[in-house]
Structure 1
Amino acid sequence: MSSPGRESHLRRRDGQLPQLSPALRNLTLSPLPEAHYVVIGIDFGTTYSGVSWTWSKAASPDQIEQVHKWDVDSGSARNQESDKVPSRICYDDRGKVLKWGYMVSPQDENQAQWFKLLLSEDAIDQGGAKVLETKRVLRKLKKTAVDVTADFLRCLWKHAIEVIELALTKIAVDNMTFRVVLTLPANWKHSAQELTKKAAIQAGILERRLRGETTFRMVTEPEAAALAAWREAGMRWRPDLQLGDSFVVCDAGGGTVDLISYTVKSLEPLRLEECVEPTGDLCGAVYLDERFESTIRTIVGEKVYDQLDVDVKAKLFENDWEFAAKRKYGGPTKTPTVYQVDIRGYKPKKSGLFGKRPSSTILLEQGHLNSIFQPVIGQIVDLVRSQVSEIRETTAKKPKAVLLVGGFGENNFLMNQLTKTFPVPIQRPTNAWGVISRGAVIKGLSNSVETETVTNFISKLSYGVLHNSRFNPSIHLSADRFKSRLTGEILAREQFTWYLKRGTSVSKIIPVEYHWTRLLRSSWDLEGIQEDIWVSDQKIPPTRLDSGARKLCNFKCNFEEDIYIQLKEETAVDGISKYKELDYTLDMKIAAGELNWSVYWRDQKKGAAKVIVEYE
């Protein structure tokens, strides 16, 4: 909005409650008309990414296909069939894409990994050595995080479309529209969400097709996981699950671990409500990789490790870690588990195991493994504990289950620790690694808000506007008091009205509306009107402007000059000056993960903006 010091600054009409927008008060939502379309779910992950899909004429809603064949180099044939592909990409010195996914070899120069974390300011500092190396490569190639993400998504998208065309034929796919759903970590801020969407657009995913526009939505990873896990983890067949019961979804991925909890509001059809503020942290499986590397460095020595060939390190991570101890270790046992790790070129001074062990082999014993796993898994257990405690406090009963999904969710140590810690069933889908992209497809099958499985969200930010209010000594600070030079009213400057408050359960259907008044000195003032949307991450948002709030975005209102003529002229308190009052409404409604802000004057739309909702 315009500068708070100006007399034309926004003033809220007092004593009103949020109302439905006039244009939407009698709106009846109906499904989209039936048409042939393909739904594509993209799970863009820190370390691995996956794609699932279905189409409108599939035999059943459960018929969701997963892309599981990927282009590989001859030396990596074992990875040709997999539910996911590595989130890696390699460039030549001019910045042209050479390879991606499984085709990227450890010795390839100019390769980028973990670049997803570069989209989030909060994640950059916790990305470790691989993020630092990727930042170095991007500086060298003069590319941004959005550029490299777009390049990778373009490769992933092209491959997925080729797979779909092989299944349905190219001519059939060309005559269908696309519904694309891209998943995001639940704790990402607006800036990271916007950068991800920008990368998707740059990758060509939203390009118009022969049969019409491609619809694009974003959904949090835990919500997508919940939708698929409900079907695949046996939750819907549990006879003890009743209306009002809750469950936790723990999405343990490569970089982030997100938790979200739902209460069952309807079983047929399934309707879920978020019941507490979700949580998340950067404690995914990649942090096990860093601890594993640190352990190997300690065992063989820094100098020896740094001199190891790149291929040796790659084999070490892939064969002896990624597909061995990392996935199979189940935690401390009475009979300690020992893993042999072969490091070609390593020659220890002493040979262990009574001299029978090859000199290049080291042993990862239980103590080593516990030091790798315990800190990271301990963080996840604490996150689950906090979520369970919040559910008990909010619903007065414990959750019926914890659904464990994501690639790290397949780890037995994590599964065992959760089972020991919490007196509720820990359930895991058959394929926890690929569940998120399948859930994204289920999300994309929803035709309208009325068919959404999750009917609300818990906002993790407050959203509102800054304005002047009539001064109330019992509410406002004397420092904010001032007298209007036009109306003579005693006002409080720079006060907030929050349309949506943090922690609030918000319906995806009902919009919120407030009425506002602006004072205009001339028709020129109509041209400078803009609406500023503010946010606060404080549990109790500020009532007046301070450091606890920040401006999120603004949008210009298109008030025609001839509107000024239609407004009634008023005389200022000085008896000389003239002004007019512009009364209008600013409403906010929620759709597909966005807050839609609109300005109306006499039921005519004069401005609008879409803001991606930062929801838990």
Structure 2
Amino acid sequence: MEKAAAGLSGLTVSEDVDRKILIAVDFGTTFSGVAWAQTRRPDVQTIIIQWPDASSGGLEGVSSDKVPTELRYEDNECRWGFQVDDFGLRHQWFKLDLDPSQSRDISDLSRQYPDQHALPPGYNASAEKLCTDYLAALRTHTEKVLQHKLPASIIKSTPIEYIITVPAVWTDQAQALTRACAFNAGMGKDLQIISEPEAAAIYALHAMDPHSIEVGDTFVLCDAGGGTVDLISYKVTALKPILKVEEASPGSGRLCGSTFLNRIFQKFLTDKLSLNEEWDEEVVEDAMKRFDLVTKKAFKGDVNEEFIIPVPGLADDPTQGVRRGKYKLKGSDLKQIFDPVVAEVLSLVQGQIASPHHLGRAPKAVLMVGGFGQSAYLRETLRKALPPGIEVMQPPNGWTAVVRGALMKGLSALSPETERVKVASRVARKHYGTEIMSRYDSGKHAKATAWWDDYDGEMKVFDMSWFIVKGAPVNESVPYVRKYHKVWKVAEGPRQTVAQDILMCPDTEDRGAPIYKDGADVRHLARLKADLSCIPQGELLQKMGKDGRMYYVVYYEIEMTYYSASTKYALVYKGRDETERKGMKGEHPRCKRDEMKPTECRNFSISSGNG
């Protein structure tokens, strides 16, 4: 069976909306989830809960809200998810290798407690291949499920569109690679990308009691999963007709998810019992399953409580607490297992609360989602440590909040009448701009960078024009337009193209936006081109410069549109809309795109993390 997601009951979509099937994919570090719906029935949102296992290649094997993000290649066959058994090495955490800044080895926990079964990054396969193979397996399984749930005529005639989630702290290149992997996995060109904490916030705020929310309230969303913990803060700006929020502070995150509880427990158990003559890998497997599925979820912090861990086959040893194949795990020991990981999460939450973007006003609540976010001990620890008046809440269906929220946002993009929670603006996470020619200013520019411009008859410099600066609010889906022009001598003849580079700067040390392109951390993001060869030479504007010579002058605009986790750029010449533009395209390193004919024009979309 499948599970119906809490959603938008009673809503219908007008008949003029084309029927589509939307499939949301929460591509997680340790577990992934899938939800789907039809645009004409947005009130029926379904979570896939049946997955193939090692003994069954069919649709049904294991029942779970999510499937492990793991791969193993055996005899030219790619096993994935629950098909990967607990013995032997496997590929894990490969999603993180799409973004070197989120390396699986950057946290203290990952260095202290490595997974003994994980293959090293890049072993026999690149991160792109691993992600593509995993997403392809996930897509194939999902579409097989749909074939059993919907009539064949609907499957054949209805377009399928995918939505995939990425961490809020993902770099532009990592988001572009994620899109490329999903495309190569068969998820189509019209893929939507949504940030994980934003998707979780949409669902969590929708699930809350609306009577407890007021305009001006701020909330910290803590998405605590198996590998990573991501946080972001939102401020309520409107309640009706829909709940509107804006980002109150940029996202933050760290590798400190619940997987580290498993690793610490395994080390604890090995140190405690491995000298027993019957100790082997099967004992570890049974103990780990009990800890993962039962013990760590049941722990509330009582140090006097005892938990039974199966250790089948071990000889009785009263001094070690082993009797009849069972080990008594003390609550005090379990607390020591939890505390290093919980301390990392608490530090992240406190950092969000102390963010200057909150302007000294404490958030109303911390909303806990994700698998680890459902931990009773984590919840109670946060409640005790945070200032009075800040509630710690666990919305229902927290483990699947990301994929549910992603599906809700995808539906609302196609059918605005279904929208119930809207993220109206976000905080830019980087500077975005272009290099331009500016008038020399002795108070701003270095004299060595100046040069004489014959056309305007004055000193000029090449410096940066930042159209978005880090920390500034960025509106959802509203194009930002900046005007530019290029000048060259008529004697040089007409040019074939006009190009403009888009640059960005993460400004990790918050030193402010650099003045020059060669400033610290300024990086190339995309190149926009306009093909001028189709314009008759006589139509190009000519002006006389201050030096008495004639010059071609081309005026154009750059449009920037920022979405949840992607950005679209377009170069517009003579105000022509997209259907009239000729040969304009964007190019991004390492991001695969379709080849376009000379007279064809499309906007080029790249992932840029909303700044």
TM over 0.5: yes
Call closer, same or farther: CA 1:560–1:205 in 2, change over 3 Å: same
Matched ranges for 1:430-579 at <5 A: 430-447=396-413, 453-484=422-453, 487-493=456-462, 495-521=463-489, 526-527=495-496, 529-538=498-507, 539=510, 540-545=512-517, 546-560=519-533, 562=535, 564-569=537-542, 579=551
Note if 1:139 corresponds to 2:123: yes
| CA displacement 1:97-116 (0-9 Å, x = unmatched) | 2x22112112356x322221
* CA-to-aligned-CA distance 1:137-181 (integer Å, 9 cap, x gap): x533xx321111111111211222222232222322222222321
For 1:352, the aligned partner's letter is: T
Query: In the alignment, what sits opposite 1:287?
Result: 260
Instruction: Return 443-452 or 503-512, whichever deviates more.
Output: 443-452
- With over 3 angstroms needed to count, the CA separation of the structure-2 counterparts of 1:449 and 1:502, relative to structure 1, is farther
Q: Give the counterpart letter for 2:81 in structure 1.
A: G
1:314-355 Cα deviation digits (max 9, x unpaired): 322212x20132222222x3x52333434456569x6427xx
Q: Tell me how far 1:407 sits from its aligned partner.
A: 0.7
Moved more, 443-452 or 275-284: 443-452
Please report the TM-score for the alignment, with normalisation by the length of structure 1.
0.82
Matched to 1:425, the amino acid is E
Q: Which residue of 1 aligns with 2:44?
A: 63
Partner amino acid, structure 2, of 1:318: K
Alpha carbons 2:195, 2:565 under 8 Å: kept: no
Partner of 1:615: 610
Q: 2:91 matched to 1:112?
A: yes
Q: Find the counterpart in structure 1 of residue 237 from structure 2.
A: 265
The answer to whether the 8 A contact 1:523-1:564 is kept is no
> Distance in 2 between the 1:229 and 1:409 partners?
12
SS at 1:277 equivalent: strand
- Residues 32/469 of structure 1: CA separation in 2 closer, same or farther (3 Å cut): farther
CA pair 260-367 structure 1, distance change in 2 beyond 3 A: same
SS at match of 1:513: strand
CA distance, structure 2, for counterparts of residue 447 and residue 408 of structure 1: 30
Which protein has greater RCO, CA pairs closer than 8 Å, 6+ apart?
1
Specify whether residues 579 and 346 from structure 1 end up closer, same or farther in structure 2 by C-alpha distance, changes over 3 A only. farther
Identity %: 27
CA distance in 1, matches of 2:536, 2:458: 25
Shift of 1:379: 1.6
Q: Residue by residue, what CA displacement relative to the aligned partner does 1:388-417 show, whole Å, maximum 9, x if unpaired?
A: 2337x6355322222110011111111111
Distance 1:416 1:149 in 2: 36
- Worse-superposed segment, 547-556 or 410-419: 547-556
1:235 counterpart letter in structure 2: D
* Matched letter for residue 84 of structure 2: V
Aligned-residue offset at 1:572 = 6.4
1:276 is matched with 249
**Contact 2:244 2:423 (8 Å CA) reproduced:** yes
Q: Using the TM superposition, name which of 219-228 and 581-590 deviates more.
A: 581-590
Alpha-carbon shift at residue 573 of structure 1 (Å): 6.6
For 1:597 and 1:151, locate their aligned partners in 2 and report how far apart those are by CA, in whole Å: 30
Quickly say closer, same or farther: Cα 1:277–1:152, change in 2 above 3 A: same
Unmatched tracts of structure 2, length 5 or more = 1-12, 587-604
Does the CA contact (< 8 Å) of 1:470 and 1:492 recur in 2?
yes
Cα distance between partner residues in 2 of 1:561 and 1:541: 38
Distance 1:407 1:471, change over 3 A: same
Q: Secondary structure at the match of 1:297?
A: helix
Which residue is equivalent to 2:209?
235
Unaligned 5+ runs, structure 1: 1-29, 207-213
Please state how far the C-alpha of 1:182 moved relative to its aligned partner.
0.9
Distance 2:25 2:129 in 1: 18
Partner SS, residue 557 of structure 1? strand
Q: Are 1:52 and 2:35 counterparts?
A: yes
Question: What is the one-letter code of the residue matched to 2:467?
Answer: Y
AA in 2 matched with 1:313: V
Give 3-state SS (helix, strand or coil) of 1:203's partner.
helix
**Deviation digits for residues 399-453 of structure 1 (CA, Å, limit 9, x no counterpart):** 2222110011111111111221233222212221112111111011113696661
Aligned counterparts of 1:376 and 1:512: Cα–Cα separation in 2: 42
- Aligned residue for 1:530, secondary structure, equals strand
Tell me the secondary structure at the aligned position of residue 40 of structure 2: coil
In structure 2, how many angstroms separate the alpha carbons of the residues matched to 1:570 and 1:326?
A: 74
Q: Is the 8 A contact 1:585 1:599 kept in 2?
A: yes
Superimposed CA distance per residue, residues 49-98 of structure 1 (whole angstroms, 9 cap, x where no aligned partner): 1111122333xx4432111112224599997211111112221244x32x
1: CA distance, partners of 2:329 / 2:116: 27
Structure 1 position 203, deviation (Å): 0.9
Contact 1:118–1:131 at 8 Å: present in 2 too?
Answer: no
Return the TM-score normalized by structure 2.
0.83
Change (3 A) 1:351 1:555: same
Letter in 1 for 2:407: V
C-alpha RMSD of the superposition:
3.2
